[in-house]
Amino acid sequence: MATSGRKTPDPGGTDRLSSLPDAILSSILSLLPVREAVRTSVLSKRWRHVWCHTCDLLLDAPNLLPPHLCFPDSKLYNLFRDQRDRLILQLSRRFRSAARTLLAHHQAQKLGTFRLHFPLGRGQSRLLDSWLEHAISREVEILDLNFNKGRPIIPLDFAQPYNFPFHLLLSSPSGANSLKRVFLEFSIWNPRPEEFEGFARLQVLELRRVNITERHVKDLLAYCPVLERLVLAKCGDFVGLVVSSDSLKFLYLEEWESLESVELSGANLSTFEYRGRQVWFSFDKVPRLQRLFLFEDSVHLVAYALNRLPIDAPQIKTLIMCVSSPREFASEPTHICWSQPVDHQHSITWRPSLDSLASQGVASLAKTRTAYGFSFKQHASSPGCESISDGKGASRVPPSAP
């Protein structure tokens, strides 16, 4: 009998995917949500324990809670407070139970990423310490802890900052030497002197809403020899902050009510971003600083940039400012770019996010430009900007860029 030429499935064929090494299968499962990776254990005996060797542990609501329990903030806001509090407590119990089960079965010898994004509430420090010990003992490289996730819907008497357990780093054979990136939010950074030996391989450190002192920042910079990126957002109550590191290339500082001065020192710092009120800056010891981002809600920043910055930091090639004030500017932020002087003439690119602006701040900027040799150029990405008004009926049209 003639055959059609088509290949028919071989019922006795091998499962090529299942024949892959455990390391490859574990890497594939690491790309799935934890709940989906665990479900693969029912496929066959071959798959029963593969998920237990995944190299990334992502503990958050989408990964551990059923989809119908992953509420958006808007839905929680619409509940009465007692209903919301009961629901949050229920979610916290479900989350803790799922995380315990996952960690009890996890058998990987090394971890690439350990992420925990969930507000677990008061009285959970020991539980968190045990989870973190699991990650540190497996030489985790990326540690991402966010205990602020879900606020402000979380009751204030429920969430509290987590005191980072530095003693666990000393008890691990590798200590902190395996860590390359650390992201920490809503925590306390307060190691005793004998508990902190630094991070030999740490390249990225981002601290947000972390209670930390100026002394601890100084120790961090001194004992992290390869740190390249540092973020301090709403951390501590500093008055005068000194950031000194020859390895640092990127620095981001955000919102300190008490901050009065920032002194930068570093041979390789190339980008600095600051968000907050105007403070005194020292740029004398950062010769390679080329990009500066300033974000403030006052037009005083514009005056500082035009008057002092070319003198204080002549090495800067690019300046981007975002000034947003409901009183002085329109409802949208306004952006200004400043490039390195050419023949002692500065070039400003005015990039309003509105079609027109009416503010005294803009008017004073326009008047100041002549005295300091600045010239306006309309940015190609803002062709809709047709006029800049001084609020008194007078307006001037920015000339087109050559």
State pLDDT tens for residues 165-218: 998 988 777 778 899 999 999 899 999 888 888 899 999 999 999 999 999 999
- Per the structure block, which two tokens stand in for 203? 């390249």
- Within 93-161, strands assigned E span 113-117, 142-146
Structural domain contains residue 60: yes
pLDDT at 267: 95
pLDDT at 109: 84
Structural domain contains residue 3: no
Structural domain contains residue 383: yes
Tell me the C-alpha distance between 112 and 352, whole Å: 43
Residues 85 and 106 in one domain: yes
pLDDT at 211: 92
Tell me the C-alpha distance between 72 and 58, whole Å: 19
Residues 61 and 128 in one domain: yes
Instruction: Decide: 189 and 211 in contact? Cβ < 8 Å.
Output: yes
pLDDT at 294: 84
Asked, as a colleague might, if the bond just before 152 is cis with ω within 30 of 0, I would say: yes
Domain boundary residue, one of 104, 129, 160: 160
Report how many domains make up the chain: 3
Phi and psi dihedrals of 149, rounded to 5? -65, 125
Residues 44 and 155 in one domain: yes
Residues 314 and 275 in one domain: no
pLDDT at 321: 76
Domain boundary residue, one of 125, 160, 195: 160
**Helices 125-137/81-105 angle, 10° precision:** 30
Sort 118 into a burial class: Cβ within 10 Å, 0-12 / 13-18 / 19+: buried
pLDDT at 376: 35
Residues 30 and 132 in one domain: yes
Range of 125's domain? 21-139+149-160
Tell me the C-alpha distance between 169 and 167, whole Å: 5
Residues 44 and 110 in one domain: yes
Residues 70 and 99 in one domain: yes
SS3 346: strand
Residues 104 and 208 in one domain: no
**Within 10 A of 154 (CB to CB), how many other CB atoms are there?**
20
Structural domain contains residue 392: yes
In the chain (402 residues long), the average pLDDT of successive 10-residue segments reads 52 62 70 69 63 80 76 62 75 88 84 87 84 92 83 51 88 82 93 88 95 93 96 90 96 88 96 90 94 77 76 87 56 43 37 32 36 34 32 38 38
Per residue in 223-261, pLDDT (tens digit) is 999 999 999 999 988 889 999 999 999 999 997 788 899
Residues 294 and 271 in one domain: no
pTM: 0.74
pLDDT at 189: 93
Structural domain contains residue 165: no
Structural domain contains residue 6: no
Structural domain contains residue 26: yes
Residues 244 and 344 in one domain: no
Domain boundary residue, one of 287, 304, 339: 287
Structural domain contains residue 106: yes
Distance of CA 232 to the CA centre of its chain: 9
Residues 207 and 308 in one domain: no
Residues 278 and 333 in one domain: no
pLDDT at 147: 82
* Listed residue (155, 151, 160) closest to 81, CA to CA: 155
